[in-house]
Each structure stands twice: as structure tokens, then as C-alpha cells.
Structure 1
Amino acid sequence: MSGNHFKLPTIPHFTLPAFIARIGGRLPQWPHACVLTAILNGALRTKLLSRDDLQPLAGKTFLIDVLDTGGKAAFTYRDECFCPLFSLPETPDLAFRADLSAFLQLAVRQEDPDTLFFNRQLSIEGDTELGLIVKNMLDALEWPKFRDMPTIC
């Protein structure tokens, strides 16, 4: 049908019940890192991310901590690709911590990291300069225009 376009949903702020984080925290965490690094490496292959821009990340450790799910993904960037870490670093170079809703809002660009940070919905810990580099890289990404994609049905 002509004229129909895919519209990203508005993601409300929510926090999952505490028992989900208790269960999720007991599960192996490395699968999260494998999925996340596969996505990041896909962004490299499709040139959504530039290897040249990623050089300041080389050898650094990162942690994504989804507080209300208990899920954590630790990874590094080396040899021009993202690699999962199969154990969580005691002190990562950079850690992002937030509830699932905040990460989803970031992913669909409903909210920017600054707004979430100043509203205390996103915590950024570790190397401040590295955090600014990552934030600026995310801000500069040219995401595909989902709103311009036709719907399937």
C-alpha cells in the first residue's frame, strides 16, 4: 500500500519488577556480550561505524549494565573488531548503567544520552574522555531512516 510508513513506537519510561533482575543476574552474562558485539561488528561491516573513528577505543573494556533485567554485557575493541569478554571486568574503562527503557529510548533516538544522564536515568562511569568520545560517536551515527521505509502489510 502506498503512503504507509513504518513508525517507531514511543517508549515510555518503565522499570521492570525487581524479581526479573534477581533472576537475570543469576544467568550467564556472556551471551549478552556475544549478541551486542555481533551487532556492533555488523555496524562495522555495513560502514555504519568507521574503524578510523574507533581507534581511541582500542584495548579498552566496556560494560553495558541493564539494571532492571540483571543483564550485563562486557566487551572490548581490538584488532579492528568488537570482542565479547566472557567474564565481567572488575573495573571497566567505561560503564553505562540504566534500566531497559532508557537503553531502548537511546536505541530509537527518542532520548539523547545527555537528557537521560541529567534526569538520572543513565549512569556513565569510568574514563570521562572515553565517555565523551563514545557519546559523540553515537550522536554522529546516521541511522537508516525507518520512517521512510514502506510497511510490509
Structure 2
Amino acid sequence: MQVPDKVMPVFLKKIISVLPAKPPAWVLVNTLNQLLRREILLADMSLLAGRHFRIVVSDLGLDLCFSASNERFMAADATGVVDLCLSANTADFMKMLLRQEDPDTLFFNRRLKIEGDTELGLVVKNLLDSIDWSTVPVMKSLVGQ
């Protein structure tokens, strides 16, 4: 399935940006922790432990903050300093996850913004590239396998 180059409607951003940030962040960290437990996400958590992350889905107004320990990911407050921030629109994040676009290409075309610790950014990029999405039930239909 090819992800279209569409930006979400502005009214969605207006609605989502006023909602609490914690519930979507909890969904994200619970998903990451499930992928860890099932050994789909093969993360060396020692490289991520004590680090704070922010994912901004710009066209939806989503600002997801989380941190990592040696064992798991946890939702975090949006007020703290982050070590790494990734920002893109919904379509570009989906293209990156489905490997329809390389993160480097998105970055150099200024469609993916990476701010903070560049070494940590490379670790996260390689971690995302290592995921076999065809083993994730909800993603099987999207990756076409």
C-alpha cells in the first residue's frame, strides 16, 4: 500500500492539539514495550536509558514525549528537555515506517526534522530500520506481506 502525500486537514490539528498529550504518548510507549517484549524491536536499551524523546506529528498537532530506562519506555512530561526530537507529518512518518522513504531522504528534503543528539538520532534510525514490520499483526496488511 503506497502512502499518499497528503497532509491531514487543519481542523484535525486544531482538535488534537488541545487534547491531553499523555494518552497518545501512553499508546506509543505501550506499543514500543510490546514490540520489545515480543523481540520485534531489538533495542539495546542501555543506549537509550535515561534519554528523553519527543515525536512531533506536525500536521496533527501531536507532541509525544517519552523516556527510556534499561528495561522499558515510559511516557514523560512535555515540559522537560529532550535529547532527541523527530518531527514530520503523518504521511512522512508512515512512509518511513513502511520503508517507502528513507529517513535520510526525508531529512535532506527537509520533511523530517531531527533535533538534538545526532548520535542518538542515528541509533534510533538504525533501530527503526531493523524492525521487521511483517511480523507485527496490525502492520501486515500495510506492508503487503
Which category describes the TM-score, using the shorter chain as reference length?
Answer: 0.7 to 0.9
Who is 2:46 aligned against?
A: 55
Larger Rg: 1
For residues 79 and 95 of structure 2, the distance between their equivalents in structure 1, rounded to whole angstroms, comes to 26
1:26 pairs, out of 18, 22, 42, with 18
For residues 14 and 91 of structure 1, the distance between their equivalents in structure 2, rounded to whole angstroms, comes to 31
Who is 2:62 aligned against?
A: 71
CA offsets 1:53-82 (integer angstroms, 9 cap, x no match): 221110100001111111111111114101
Q: What does 1:121-132 correspond to in 2, within 5 Å?
A: 121-132=111-122
Aligned residues: 138
Q: Secondary structure at the match of 1:20?
A: helix
For residues 40 and 119 of structure 2, the distance between their equivalents in structure 1, rounded to whole angstroms, comes to 22
Q: Secondary structure at the match of 1:144?
A: helix
Q: What does 1:70-149 correspond to in 2, within 5 Å?
A: 70-85=61-76, 87-144=77-134, 146=140, 147-148=144-145
Unpaired runs of 5+ residues, structure 1, are 1-8, 149-153
- With normalisation by structure 1, the TM-score equals 0.83
More relative contact order, 1 or 2 (CA 8 Å, 6+ apart): 1
CA contact (8 A) 2:45 2:69 kept: no
For residues 100 and 69 of structure 2, the distance between their equivalents in structure 1, rounded to whole angstroms, comes to 30
| Runs of 4+ more than 3 Å apart | 145-148
For residues 139 and 89 of structure 1, the distance between their equivalents in structure 2, rounded to whole angstroms, comes to 29
Code of the aligned partner of 1:97? S
Code of the aligned partner of 1:76? S
- With normalisation by structure 2, the TM-score equals 0.87
Code of the aligned partner of 1:119? N
In angstroms, what is the RMSD of aligned CA positions?
1.5
Name the structure with the higher helix share. Answer: 2
Unpaired runs of 5+ residues, structure 2, are none
CA contact (8 A) 2:42 2:127 kept: no
